[in-house]
């Protein structure tokens, strides 16, 4: 591997001073933007969660709908777990965007990541998509409750499946029966709340839940790949592009590799890395907007700040790309080159 292909280049100004080249400046700007966006998202989640929402806020309408349901108190405890799950998704977004920012902070000393940026952005995008599905904007409360319960059931089932494959080792003891007990406790709570769990035909797996008698079944088999496609419908193939790199598929890796005779070399693609940062900024902005809107604060200043942060870095990428001759011959694209 050629080390000079992995590290951003330095250039000299007119007086012989060594200064960062435009590529490094862009990546360092991405680092700052990601860390600031993660901080703003975390602060926004905390602020809107702790504030008293307006009476007609979305979350209050859910409370009123919950009060009309059978076994309302039992369901309230389950719904609390669903809301905490949604909050965890928001924290997951912030954590991944911050990690990407920290990674890029050291680009001057360590060089730019060749592939790792995509995995961090993919984690942020997936969690934002789960949050979008859990909050189900515009849908009745029963839909949100169904989504949340289905997620809890599938999560508990996957935990057991994973535990069965964890070896007993000095550094990672195999989980005991605690995971099974927690899943059974969840199922007992659902039964007490009169929330129906539906098994598949062989009776070996819970394939869905029904929170309203005779109502719609919510599948426990929702795939995040589908959710990303729907939640980020304005970014076609986003999941495929991020996964192609994160899963080390050849088509997702080859643009960062070059051949010099029989020798291969790998170098960071500045546009790819910056695009991951831009997408992470968008995932954070959307996660914050979704949760703030649910809590009744669609105009929260944190949401506006995150939107501006995304727009500013978008424009910075455009300026870099045009100056570097990378965007010549391309027409305007809404939200990118306009």
pLDDT in tens, 120-157: 999 999 999 999 999 999 999 999 999 999 999 999 98
The pLDDT of residue 327 is above 80: no
Q: What is the pLDDT of residue 201?
A: 87
Which pLDDT score, from 0 to 100, does residue 254 have?
63
Query: Does 69 or 264 have the greater pLDDT score?
Result: 69
pLDDT of residue 98 exceeding 90:
yes
pLDDT at site 58:
94
DSSP state of 169: B
Which of 82-91, 161-170, 250-259 shows the highest mean pLDDT?
A: 82-91
Predicted confidence (pLDDT) at residue 326 exceeds the cutoff of 90: no
Q: Is the pLDDT of residue 158 over 60?
A: yes
Structure-model confidence comparison of residues 329 and 325, the more confident one: 325
Percent of the chain exceeding pLDDT 90 equals 66
Q: For 267-306, how does the pLDDT look when each residue is reduced to its tens digit (9 = 90+)?
A: 888 988 999 999 999 999 999 999 999 999 999 999 999 9
**Residue 51: pLDDT over 50:** yes
pLDDT of residue 330: 57
Residue 208 CA to residue 332 CA, distance in Å, equals: 44
For position 3, what pLDDT does the model report?
39
Q: What is the per-residue pLDDT for 329?
A: 59
* pLDDT for the residue 175: 63
Percent of the chain with pLDDT over 70: 86
Q: What confidence tier does 260 reach under pLDDT thresholds 50, 70, 90?
A: confident
Q: State the average pLDDT for the chain.
A: 88
More confident site: 276 or 328: 276
Confidence of residue 174 (pLDDT cuts 50, 70, 90): low
Average pLDDT over residues 199-213: 92
CA distance 146 to 225: 20
CA distance 109 to 31: 14
Q: How confident is the model at residue 163 (pLDDT cuts 50, 70, 90)?
A: confident
DSSP string, 91-106: HHHHHHHHHHHHHHHT
Q: Is the pTM of the predicted complex or chain greater than 0.75?
A: yes
For residues 116 and 177, give the distance between their C-alpha atoms in angstroms, rounded to a whole number.
35
Phi, psi of 3 (to 5 degrees): -65, -35
Handedness of CA 292, 103, 116, 34 (dihedral sign): positive
CA distance 73 to 83: 15
pLDDT in tens, 5-49: 334 444 444 454 444 589 999 999 999 999 999 999 999 999 999
Nearest to 337 by CA among 320, 324, 279: 320
Average pLDDT over residues 228-250: 89
Higher pLDDT, 334 or 73: 73
SS3 198: strand
Q: Return d(Cα 29, Cα 110) in angstroms, integer.
A: 16
Give which of 119, 124, 110 is closest to 281, Cα–Cα: 124
Mean pLDDT of 164-173: 65
Between residues 269 and 313, the one the model is more confident about: 313
């Amino acid at each position: 591997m050629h080390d000079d292909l992995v590290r951003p280049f330095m250039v000299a100004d007119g007086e012989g001073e060594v200064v960062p080249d435009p590529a490094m400046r862009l990546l360092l700007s991405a680092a700052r933007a990601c860390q600031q966006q993660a901080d703003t998202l975390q602060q926004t989640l905390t602020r809107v969660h702790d504030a008293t929402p307006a009476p007609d806020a979305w979350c209050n309408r859910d409370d009123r709908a919950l009060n009309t349901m059978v076994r309302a108190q039992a369901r309230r405890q389950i719904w609390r777990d669903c809301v905490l799950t949604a909050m965890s998704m928001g924290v997951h977004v912030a954590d991944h965007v911050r990690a990407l920012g920290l990674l890029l902070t050291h680009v001057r000393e360590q060089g730019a990541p060749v592939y790792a940026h995509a995995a961090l952005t993919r984690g942020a995008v997936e969690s934002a998509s789960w949050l979008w599905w859990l909050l189900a904007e515009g849908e009745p409360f029963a839909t949100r409750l169904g989504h949340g319960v289905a997620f809890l059931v599938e999560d508990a089932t996957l935990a057991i499946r994973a535990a069965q494959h964890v070896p007993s080792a000095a550094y990672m003891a195999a989980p005991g029966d605690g995971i099974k007990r927690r899943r059974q406790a969840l199922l007992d709570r659902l039964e007490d709340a009169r929330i129906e769990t539906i098994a598949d035909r062989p009776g070996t797996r819970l394939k869905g839940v029904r929170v309203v008698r005779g109502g719609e079944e919510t599948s426990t088999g929702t795939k995040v790949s589908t959710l990303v496609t729907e939640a980020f419908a304005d970014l076609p193939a986003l999941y495929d592009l991020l996964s192609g790199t994160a899963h080390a598929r050849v088509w997702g890796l080859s643009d960062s590799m070059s051949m010099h005779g029989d020798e291969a070399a790998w170098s960071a693609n500045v546009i790819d890395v910056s695009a991951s940062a831009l997408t992470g900024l968008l995932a954070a902005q959307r996660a914050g907007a979704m949760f703030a809107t649910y809590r009744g604060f669609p105009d929260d200043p944190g949401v506006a700040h995150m939107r501006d942060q995304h727009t500013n870095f978008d424009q910075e990428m455009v300026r870099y790309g045009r100056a570097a001759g990378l965007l010549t011959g391309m027409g305007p694209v809404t939200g990118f080159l306009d």
